[in-house]
Structure 1
């Protein structure tokens, strides 16, 4: 989408970008002069000055606006950090739906999401926008999980995979058009309508849920008080495991904060990062100790006594992390090797998206007909592993059209896994009261994998990129200071490759390819781990199961 900078003194409007965009990728309000040529000795000649990479001011200090860029970038980082706390809400929705009823919680999740979108759309400051995203995130975290829980309530287990595949198909279509549609709205009528536009469909969904969704009575074992009375509501409130919810949220936050900040704000070896990981581990142990004493824990620990349930969580988590690594690396690969535009490079993900949708539908049909899911899980992770292996073996900078389709098996395998692993989990959960929390935790494990997969793939890629590029530039005879500047520009702006000479360009492209090779390796490692667990998982008969 097109970003436009606002002239000094003019109030931002709905056409303004949410965050002020740095004038270069380093965020310092400066423009690097293009590197025009390299001397035989390997020195960089910038603006005719031998042996130095010079910089010029794009504007004077007064016109920059005191600290606008740095403040916006920092606020964006804070927004991401605050938002990760919402992920714990996914397990809470499962238990709340047992207490208050599925229909009530679905409507509640939709309403929270609508309120959040409206606050974002009307926000006049960045903190108002952050507040809106926090609220909408709290709503959206329950929407997908509750739909899957409802499907398990309403359908025989053999039909569940097929119907979840249809839901996944719709969700995949929505994710596919969401970005382009949002970009079009930003360009045509302003970014606020990307959020205003979500309100009417969700309100319509609320109306349809109220009209058509059956209302089975919520569990009311602990109270004989009339439903809706103050005593009844108090008894339901007392059943909520607030202590466990808070501990679990803090443990997740302590885990995700260092993942978000490590390698960006702090080195991975920094005491602050190490301390956060340690705090997360301690909080997990405290959470377990507390949950053992709870009558109705937010996350029943008995779920984790079942080996196949744990494997189901881990398999889907590994597949999700591997797939996200692919989604990160593929557009970047074509941007750097073929200098493709954002649109074209993003379009190279279409085979994986199509494969994901087809895999889910086909696996749902096969499970309904055969009642078997283990073979499908093994097939899914095998296809994905094979896809990542192909990328490692064949994507070395000159990728033709047919080779660009190597990502199809990974998407196809992930689509199969999403349906088959869900059935695997449902087949081993014998206690009906544990099913909703287990499904919610499965969504949480997938979300956590999303949070872990991207930083890990990016960190590995950048580490290899920096190391190999430094070696290549040293071979060209360049000086250490020049090399450092080129590396920093390379990792911060993919378009920097257009402003260097052929020799440096080849070094940058080759180093990116090396880094992305290792990124594919991370995806392969995740998928191979899932394959090992899929071999151990047991096939349960589905006939007569919940």
Structure 2
């Protein structure tokens, strides 16, 4: 394990740094590409493929082996990062982010599956905490480093700089990780065991939902595209469930794994906590830059305390589980802590107090990180040994699904409030429409406005941020209530 952890740690570090490297620079990226109102797709395109492929890696690693899947993930992630750095418009950037998500899903899920293979359950919380520390170092460095690069050499180097690290990680895994290979079968037999239909229906369902939310906030909720997409989403989600339960010969999210009563509560808490935390994390830097006038570097630095909280909660949660062999009340209290965090977050936005935002994200990070550790232990404790890889991969399915939906719902709410506020404050003629379009595409446009107009725009962004926190509150309440249904099981595996 002393060799294993550093070898896979490169990938964990990269995936963590990638998620937050651009968080502090979304506003800068959107402004440069003249698509500030579409920056949520930079995150959702990544989480979309992350959502769809993480559970597939559970099955793929059973078929092709853990090590080949991990190496494949490194290679795809490197190509995706290269594409992000070379992108010339928002569409190219989102496509490259989606490709990086395919690799990122494997770098995360396969490492967790490998750890579950190698570590006794009662010690898994500790090792999960160690891995979370590596991830936390990445996220701690990611936000301020991304902001610094954006303010100095340009945001593109946030992505291009990851490519050499991917190569180092690939070589480390190739030479250090030595695990048994699955039984040899011909390639056609292995390919037939992959649930392509399930993956395609899941992608279609998530795309329909996110497209509908984005169209609603930008084109209007009565627009044909919005109505059609939002009506299709539940239908295609139902089709995905039907495929996994009835038709797929080798489902990556089988019904007995997803809908088991002892597992489903953990999945839902994972979903809710991820949706709330990532939704907040995505829009706090936008508030700092649009309302408080902070630079990308400062916006990233404000997130460092939250990343420290991730380390504290990850290690602390694993240590408590190891000492008490209990995870139920830690999960409940952690979700409650996240619910408390919404108070300083909203109050500080109203009074335009940056320190309150820092405190709120710190508390939110404490609750979220503890939940990630405790629910994973709870899932493994309640699962059959033969289903362990599928259960771990499915936990990442719910986590990344929560992340993508959380960001999209928050973005839709924020953009809707922003449009309404700007329309109310600038009601007259073509100039008002020009201001609305300009500030929703680039923050740099604010500097071209008169002092009165700029003040009105900042006030609109302030209220829009509060609107973006609305879905966060709903997810936190849902996660807190559902956490009481988690089942405590002895940690004997």
Q: What's 1:242 paired with?
A: 196
Other-structure match for 1:147: 111
**Deviations for 1:467-523, whole angstroms, at most 9, x for unmatched residues?**
34555x48xxx7466555544444444455555566555544444333322333332
Deviations along 1:337-358, whole A, 9 cap, x unmatched?
4322222233222222221221
Gaps of 5+ in 1: 1-16, 28-72, 221-226
Change (3 A) 1:488 1:257: closer
* Contact kept? 1:26, 1:489, Cα under 8 Å: no
Stretch deviating more after TM superposition (504-513 or 100-109) = 504-513
Q: 1:429 to 1:496 in 2, by over 3 A?
A: same
Q: Matches of 1:124 and 1:493 in 2, distance apart?
A: 16
Q: Relative to 1, partners in 2 of residues 1:360 and 1:271: Cα closer, same or farther, differing over 3 Å?
A: same
Aligned to 1:366: 320
Q: Does 1:467 align with 2:449?
A: no
**Which residue in the other structure is 2:250 paired with?**
296
Choose from 212, 222, 232 the match for 1:269.
222
Is residue 209–residue 229 contact of structure 2 (8 Å, CA) maintained in 1? yes
Compared with structure 1, are the counterparts of its residues 20 and 419 closer, same or farther at alpha carbon in structure 2 (3 Å cutoff)? closer
Describe how 1:197-216 pairs up with structure 2 within 5 A.
197-216=161-180
Q: Give the 3 Å change call, closer, same or farther, for CA 99–391 of structure 1 in structure 2.
A: same
Shift of 1:130: 7.2
Distance in 2 (alpha carbons) for counterparts of 1:340 and 1:121? 24
Measure the CA separation in 2 of the matches of 1:488 and 1:120.
25
Q: Mark the CA change 1:181 to 1:506 in structure 2 (over 3 Å): closer, same or farther.
A: closer
Residue 528 of structure 1: CA displacement? 1.4
Q: 1:320 aligns with which of 274, 289, 302?
A: 274
User: Does the 8 Å CA contact 2:337/2:367 hold for their aligned counterparts?
Assistant: yes
Distance 1:169 1:402 in 2: 25
Matched residues in 2 for 1:349 and 1:330: separation? Answer: 9
Superposed CA deviations along residues 170-217 of structure 1, whole A, max 9, x for unmatched, are 123223434555676678778776555434433333333233323224
| 1:408 aligned residue | 362
TM-score normalised by length of structure 2: 0.81
- Mapped partners of 1:280, 1:445: distance in 2: 17
C-alpha separation in 1, matches of 2:90 and 2:444:
29
- CA-based RMSD of the aligned residues comes to 3.8
2:400 aligned residue: 447
Q: CA deviation at 1:384?
A: 1.0
Paired with 1:496 and 1:124, the residues of 2 have a C-alpha distance of: 20
Partner of 1:519: 468
Match of residue 339 from structure 2? 385
Q: Look up the match of 1:283.
A: 236
Corresponding residue to 1:530 among 476, 479, 488: 479
Q: What is the rounded CA distance, in whole Å, between the counterparts of 1:336 and 1:136 in structure 2?
A: 28
Q: How far apart, CA to CA, are the structure 2 residues paired with 1:83 and 1:26?
A: 19
Contact 1:312–1:424 (Cα < 8 Å) also in 2 = yes
Q: 1:247 to 1:498 in 2, by over 3 A?
A: closer
What is the CA distance between 1:363 and its match in structure 2?
A: 0.5
- Cα distance change, pair 403–118 in 1 and its aligned pair in 2 (3 A): closer
Q: Tell me what 1:68 maps to.
A: none
Shift of 1:109: 1.8
Q: Secondary structure at the match of 1:340?
A: coil
C-alpha distance in 2 between matches for 1:362 and 1:171: 15
* Structure-2 change in CA distance of 1:426 and 1:398 (3 Å): same
8 Å Cα contact 1:337-1:397 kept in structure 2: no
Identify the residue that residue 156 of structure 1 maps to in structure 2.
120
3-state SS, counterpart of residue 220 of structure 2? coil
In the alignment, which residue of structure 2 is the partner of 1:14? Answer: none
Larger Rg: 1
CA drift at 1:437:
2.1
SS in 2 for 1:160: helix
Q: Which has the higher contact order (CA 8 A, sep 6+)?
A: 2
Structure 2, unaligned stretches of length 5 or more? 1-27
State how far apart, in whole Å, the 2-side matches of 1:79 and 1:458 are.
11
| Counterpart in the other structure of 1:165 | 129
- Count matched residues: 465
1:541 aligns with 2:481: no
CA distance in 1: counterparts of 2:77 and 2:157, whole angstroms = 15
CA shift, 1:426, in A, is 1.4
SS of 1:536's equivalent?
Answer: coil
Contact conserved, 2:413 with 2:470, CA < 8 A, in 1? no
1:289 to 1:533, Cα distance in 2 relative to 1, 3 A: closer
Quote the residue 1:436 is aligned against: 389
Contact 1:96–1:105 (CA under 8 A) maintained in structure 2 = yes
Structure 1 residue 534 displacement after superposition = 0.9
**Structure 1 residue 376: Cα displacement:** 0.9
